[in-house]
Amino acid sequence: MSSVDVNAVHAALATVSDPEIHRPITDLGMVKSVDVSDDGSVDVGIYLTTQGCPLRDRITSDVTAAVSKVAGVTGVRVDLDVMSDEQRAALRTTLQGGQKTRTIQFAEPGSLTRIFAIASGKGGVGKSSTTVNLAAAMVQQGLTVGVVDADVYGYSLPRMLGIESKPAAVDGMIIPPEGHGVKLLSAGMFVPDNRAIALRGPMLHKWLEQILSDGYWGDLDILLLDLPPGTGDVALSTATLLPTAEVIVVTTPQRAAREVAERAGSVAVQTRLRVAGVIENMAGLPCPHCGEIVDVFGAGGGQQVADSLSALIGAPVPLLGSVPIDPRLREGGDAGTPIVVADPNAPAAVVLTKIAREIGTRTRSLVGRPLTLTPVS
């Protein structure tokens, strides 16, 4: 008789998580069999979710490492199989918490995920680089963060987060890949060779709805949406699908950007979304020789947008921060490593990290949440 405790082997397998879903393989029904031989060798059968699972080697090595630590084990052999359609359907139901219908988890009344839609009036103000750096900074602060690259026509976040892998699929459920700890789904992940995407308004709404409902995001602390510039279909769909979202307006100091940024903020008001604040990007260039700030695009635009929106809403809209021009911010986006990760002491990184900490620790809005109040008789 073998001295290996089968229960100990199962306990060891419970410490192995699926690299994409981040749940123990024992909870996901991925353990097919465990056979212990008299000589102490252990054969473990594992179900993969798909035939071409790109992480099969990692799963094999993780299972081997975990089981090898069990007392008395002399060797481990892992046999890989593939889930049937019925097993994948059961897995999807498990991941959805028992629900079999498609729902947007973030729109449910009990959701604790804080949602921030990053908006701008025009392109070229650094909205996407702001989004990825806020997300990466929040991960560094211990939060679980997901990002939707909702700028379908101008998708760019996969490159900025260094993500080259495609989303995995489980019975129609989409598993977001990760970069620097940030979960991301982007239209750019579903088209080959940097191909352009041409969708009309109703299809844009359907795409966003599907990404939000079919994506398996797990328990997120924060969901960020990188909206396309302007006040079009995706901004309106965001308000419809995610009524508790809060809008962060990104602008640059010059008047042209400031005026259109105010329009982006006013749309949030019209659709009854809360404006969480304003971020002023490209707010001066520090001279590399003397350190004096050169106002390349003017100064004070961010505060003026915040003041204008405050007057429009009738409630204070804060200027969350002014991010200086820094070539390393652009370089980090091109290299797939956000500046808050690559150079956290850079002036731009310090400001972005501070903004991330401020909005990441805010209490979630009560809008759209049920209040368990009992009337007093």
Phi, then psi, of 61 in degrees rounded to 5: -70, -35
72 and 117 housed in the same domain: no
358 has a pLDDT exceeding 90:
yes
114 and 185 housed in the same domain: yes
52 has a pLDDT exceeding 90:
no
| 89 within 8 A of 96, measured Cβ to Cβ | no
The answer to whether residue 369 is domain-embedded is: no
Note down the domain range covering 72: 6-95
120 and 85 housed in the same domain: no
Q: Enumerate the β-bridge partners of residue 275.
A: 247
372 has a pLDDT exceeding 50:
no
371 has a pLDDT exceeding 50:
no
Residue range 265-288: average pLDDT? 84
Among 71-85, 127-141, 362-376, name the one with the lowest average pLDDT: 362-376
pLDDT on residue 262: 81
The answer to whether residue 247 is domain-embedded is: yes
Share of the chain residues as helix, strand and coil, in percent rounded to the nearest 5:
35, 20, 45
Q: How many domains does the chain have?
A: 2
Q: Which of 67, 95, 123 is the last residue of a domain?
A: 95
53 and 113 housed in the same domain: no
Distance CA 250, CA 239 (A): 18
User: Which of 63, 67, 71, 64 has its CA nearest to residue 4?
Assistant: 71
- Where would I find the beta strands (DSSP E) of 187-289? 222-226, 246-251, 274-280, 285-286
Residue range 169-195: average pLDDT? 85
197 and 290 housed in the same domain: yes
pLDDT on residue 258: 74
Query: What percentage of the chain has pLDDT greater than the value 70?
Result: 91
155 has a pLDDT exceeding 80:
yes
Token pair in block for residue 190: 């579903």
230 and 180 housed in the same domain: yes
DSSP state for residue 282 in the 8-state scheme: S
**If you count DSSP H runs as helices and E runs as strands, how many of each does the chain have, helices first?**
12, 15
pLDDT on residue 74: 93
Phi-psi label, residue 366: left if phi above 0, alpha if psi -120 to 50, beta otherwise: alpha
0.85 cut: is pTM over it? no
Distance CA 321, CA 279 (A): 5
| 294 within 8 A of 253, measured Cβ to Cβ | no
pLDDT on residue 353: 96
Specify the higher pLDDT residue, 133 or 174.
133
349 has a pLDDT exceeding 90:
yes
Distance CA 307, CA 201 (A): 32
- Where would I find the beta strands (DSSP E) of the chain? 31-36, 41-48, 75-82, 114-119, 145-149, 168-170, 173-175, 178-179, 182-186, 222-226, 246-251, 274-280, 285-286, 293-294, 319-322
| 283 within 8 A of 352, measured Cβ to Cβ | no
236 and 326 housed in the same domain: yes
Query: For position 247, which CATH number holds?
Result: 3.40.50.300
The answer to whether residue 51 is domain-embedded is: yes
**pLDDT of 194-251, one tens digit each?**
676 666 667 888 888 888 988 888 889 999 999 988 767 787 888 888 989 999 999 9
243 and 347 housed in the same domain: yes
21 and 140 housed in the same domain: no
Among 98-112, 114-128, 276-290, name the one with the lowest average pLDDT: 98-112
369 has a pLDDT exceeding 60:
no
79 and 139 housed in the same domain: no
Tell me which residue has tokens 């059968």: 45
pLDDT on residue 373: 47
The answer to whether residue 375 is domain-embedded is: no
pLDDT on residue 61: 94
368 has a pLDDT exceeding 50:
no
160 and 285 housed in the same domain: yes
Distance CA 338, CA 147 (A): 14
